[in-house]
Amino acid sequence: MANTEPQLALADIQEPMLNTFWPPAPGWWLLTVLVIVLLAYSFRFFWKKWQKALPLRQAKAELRLIKQPEQSAELNELLKRLVRCYSPGHNVLSAPVKHWQEFLQQQLPKQPLPDLQKVLYQSVSDQTDFTTYLQFAETWLHKVSVKQLERL
């Protein structure tokens, strides 16, 4: 019986509970809050960047709809709207066609640009001049970035 007494004395000792994941330690709470804040900031940053690029994406989509020489005024208006969206106070928006053409030519000096006076204001537009203007607009819209448009 002497052997069983020490075992009986230990019978009322209970093992401690194992650590569980709940409630988490304060460091985990801090890490969770930090991750949520970083995710919210990243979402906001990319949302604003996406919103800034929206007019440029819309202009590219509208450009695909312009196919006929009769739409040369619409093409010109599309380019001016894009400039107005990113630089509302730009002086070229209210300037004569000559200054607008010089402005466009500065954007892509190596790309040919027809005489806009002829393309926009002749009753019957020349197909080659319109095609050249359309190609210029496509090239410019695909090469230009939002940052470049904001610096105009």
Rounded CA-CA distance 94/148 in Å is 20
pLDDT at position 4 is: 64
Mention every residue, 6+ apart, whose C-beta is less than 8 A from residue 56.
82, 141, 144, 146, 149
- The DSSP string of 18-79 is PP-SSSPPHHHHHHHHHHHHHHHHHHHHHHHHHHHTHHHHHHHHHHTT--SGGGHHHHHHHH
With 60 as the cut, is the pLDDT of residue 54 above it? yes
pLDDT at position 23 is: 84
Q: What is the average pLDDT across 144-150?
A: 92
With 70 as the cut, is the pLDDT of residue 15 above it? yes
With 60 as the cut, is the pLDDT of residue 72 above it? yes
Residues across the chain: 152
Q: What is the average pLDDT across 44-50?
A: 97
Greater model confidence, 7 or 90: 90
Q: Which two tokens stand for residue 52?
A: 């800034």
Q: What is the average pLDDT across 90-112?
A: 94
Mean pLDDT of the chain: 90
Nearest alpha-carbon partner for 129 in 115, 141, 117, 111: 115
Cβ contact 141:59 at 8 Å: yes
